[in-house]
A and B are shown apart, each in its own frame.
Chain A
Amino acid sequence: MSCPDLTQIYAYLDGELTAEDRLRLEEHLETCSRCRQLVADRRLFLEASSSLPEPDLPSDFSGRVMAGLPPLKSPVRLWLWLAGGAYLLFSLVVAGLALGTRTALFPICLQIFKNLYNLAADLSSLIVRLIQQAYGFIKALRILAGVVARLLADVFPSGSLGLAALVLGGVMSLALLWLLLRPTNYTTGDEK
């Protein structure tokens, strides 16, 4: 091995060489006094660099930090804002209605209340209709599945249909197993 350059010497001292490179360099050091001197020199320099004295920190420093902490910001939760907003709106409506019935604004308040009531009723009927539509759709799917099953039973004898279902199930299970266990090359960023 020819003489290593300084980056290799530092990599050796940092413990960053592979086992093979480290052995090769150590073999070289046994025969090369100049490189031995370089390594000894850099080793002492690195040891001294990593041993510089620490400056003294005041003993009450952590207390000082804790005393100056601002209020903790919690993550903004959308649902909290929505719930708060809805509650505020509801409170305002109720308060307005209660106040309005005792003043000259009674007819307007009554109208607002009627409109709100109608809106709620419309929304309720919309939801009911959506549920009915969904139920009808599921029912139609069930009938369709029944028809397909009967058709298949007519075309294939019952024994081979069971075998086909078994083979299909096996293939699907194997495919799923492969998807779950296949090797990946994902990196994790600077996560350690």
Chain B
Amino acid sequence: MVPDEDRILVGRSLKGDRRAFELLVKKYQQPLFNYFCRLVQEREMSLDFTQEVFLRAYAALHTYKEKYQFSTWLFRIASNLLIDHWRKKKLPLVSIDAEPEDDEHRQPQLPDLEPSVSDNYEKREMMERIEQALVQLPETLRELFVLRHMNDFSYEEIAAIKHLPVGTVKNRVFQAREWLRSRLEER
């Protein structure tokens, strides 16, 4: 389904066609559930959050502007819900809204000698290790990593969802990747 079809479905939903909104729910329920499961780590809560995103989206559907992609609008609602949840839990969030001065310009150096991860693991085993390490990744970095790798958003789309510069998103995704990869070396 292409984004233009999303817009058509939104238009029909606004005219009271609930079947059109149901098609949007069916399209985005799994990506949203993946997102919450990786970030909240509790299945029931992830289900509740996924449902809550659709309820909020439906109630605010008249505020959706067609110049944006529906998927980024929907995930912006999801991200705001998640931030509220983290604030209530009083997690020590690393702010990604406040951008460090040298954030975009830090150039990671090539490591001198690093253990080869690809020699040590088969892909399946590596997936299991990534899943285990992902839980320990700081939430704000994990969110960007999940949006990139589990939800397959482009850097530009993530930047639109998080209201961040594209360069910052790239840098944070890079940090998350290298943080996770470094955990795979600890065998």
Which residues of A approach B to under 8 Å, CB–CB?
3-7, 10, 16, 37-38, 40-55, 57-58, 61-62, 64-66, 68-70, 72-75, 188-192
CB atoms of A70 and B34 under 8 A apart? no
Main DSSP-derived SS at the B contact region: helix
Q: How far is the CA of A42 from the CA of B14 in the complex (A)?
A: 45
Main DSSP-derived SS at the A contact region: loop
CB atoms of B33 and A48 under 8 A apart? no
Q: How far is the CA of A33 from the CA of B162 in the complex (A)?
A: 38
Query: Chain B residues near A47 (CB, 8 Å)?
Result: 123
CB atoms of B180 and A49 under 8 A apart? yes
CB atoms of B37 and A55 under 8 A apart? yes
CB atoms of B117 and A55 under 8 A apart? no
List the B residue with the shortest CB-CB distance to A3: B110
Known: A44-B117, A72-B14, A189-B67. A57 touches B33 (CB 8 A): yes
CB atoms of B14 and A74 under 8 A apart? yes
Q: How far is the CA of A57 from the CA of B111 in the complex (A)?
A: 41
List the B residue with the shortest CB-CB distance to A189: B67
CB atoms of B126 and A5 under 8 A apart? no
- B29 CB, min distance to chain A CBs, angstroms: 6
Partner of A57, one of B29, B110, B123: B29
- A21 CB, min distance to chain B CBs, angstroms: 15
Interface status of B96 (Cβ within 8 A of chain A): no
CB atoms of A55 and B43 under 8 A apart? yes
List the A residue with the shortest CB-CB distance to B107: A5
Known: A5-B109, A52-B127, A70-B58. A41 touches B116 (CB 8 A): yes
Given A57-B30, A191-B68, list of 14 further CB < 8 A pairs?
A: A6-B174, A7-B107, A7-B108, A10-B174, A16-B155, A44-B117, A44-B118, A45-B180, A45-B184, A50-B152, A68-B55, A70-B55, A75-B62, A192-B69
